[in-house]
Amino acid sequence: MLEIKNISKTFNPGTVNEKVALDDVSLTLENGDFVTVIGGNGAGKSTLLNAIAGVWPVDCGQIIIDGQDVTKLSEHKRAAFLGRVFQDPMNGTAATMGIEENLALALRRGTLRTLRSGIKSSEREAYRELLSKLGLGLENRLTSKVGLLSGGQRQALTLLMATLKKPKLLLLDEHTAALDPKTAAKVLETTDMIINRDRLTTLMITHNMKDAIVHGNRLIMMMEGKIILDIRGEEKKKLTVEDLLHKFEEVSGEEFANDKAILG
């Protein structure tokens, strides 16, 4: 579903601020892979997701989504294939619009976005149904302005919107990091539910080692612009925090000093 071949990205080349953020990264995701991504601050995690989304062009290499080479496609064009959720709950939804209007816009993604023709009652029913599965009571607040929702409610809605039209790839960049632990757990539960239901191919960055171990079928760790660990299958299922720390020391040659080294 995703094939990344030898991509590199250096920011501010030739200046004192030069930074190699991605260093010859290759990664292949099978259809339905749910990959958690960990690594310290500045390891290149967000840069990897931004490269896939086409926020800027990569310096070299190839990015193929579902057989189509998107390396030269604009961010706007690639958006048709992707669902994205970021850390900031203020991102991804329109605050001054209602819940159903936000969902309706998400559904019309890729077409000329206009709500002039209105939202049909059958569509409204479908939204009610989807929202009720979140267990946040949003199904009874279809016309409430999104700006009135809590961060967790808003993040859950963003997730719903990002997956309303089944994306070829779901990109989650610390999408629960700004939430309190209880709300974060709830949004993660919803994340799992949607990914399993729709068998979405997913990359999820997290700073929580336990979350990275518990969720998904595969885990990658990044460091200095490279993927230094890639754990999947039975090995991933049996993985413990101790295993992960041990592996980190093995591949990095560094003693595990504190969580910051691998989680940031």
Residues that bind ligand ATP (CB under 6 A): 11-12, 19, 21, 39, 41-47, 264
Q: How far is the C-alpha of 162 from the C-alpha of 109, rounded, in Å?
A: 10
Task: Choose among Mg ion, ligand ATP, none what residue 39 binds, the Cβ cut-off being 5 to 8 Å by kind.
Answer: ligand ATP
Tokens 């993985």 sit on residue: 239
Minimum CB separation of residue 207 from ligand ATP in Å reads 7
Binding of Mg ion at residue 46 (CB under 5 A)? yes
Task: Choose among Mg ion, ligand ATP, none what residue 41 binds, the Cβ cut-off being 5 to 8 Å by kind.
Answer: ligand ATP
Cα–Cα nearest to 249, from 262, 232, 231: 262
User: Residue 38's beta-bridge partner residues?
Assistant: 221
Minimum CB separation of residue 204 from ligand ATP in Å reads 13
CA distances from 241 to 91, 177, 224, 245 (A): 32, 19, 21, 6
* CA 21 from centroid of its chain's CA atoms: 18
Minimum CB separation of residue 210 from ligand ATP in Å reads 17
Binding of Mg ion at residue 190 (CB under 5 A)? no
Binding of Mg ion at residue 206 (CB under 5 A)? no
Q: How many CB atoms lie within 10 A of CB 225?
A: 21
CB nearer Mg ion, residue 45 or residue 175 = 45
Minimum CB separation of residue 211 from ligand ATP in Å reads 14
- The DSSP element (H or E) to which 187 belongs, if any, is helix 181-198
Amino acid identity for residue 29 in this structure: L
Task: Choose among Mg ion, ligand ATP, none what residue 47 binds, the Cβ cut-off being 5 to 8 Å by kind.
Answer: ligand ATP
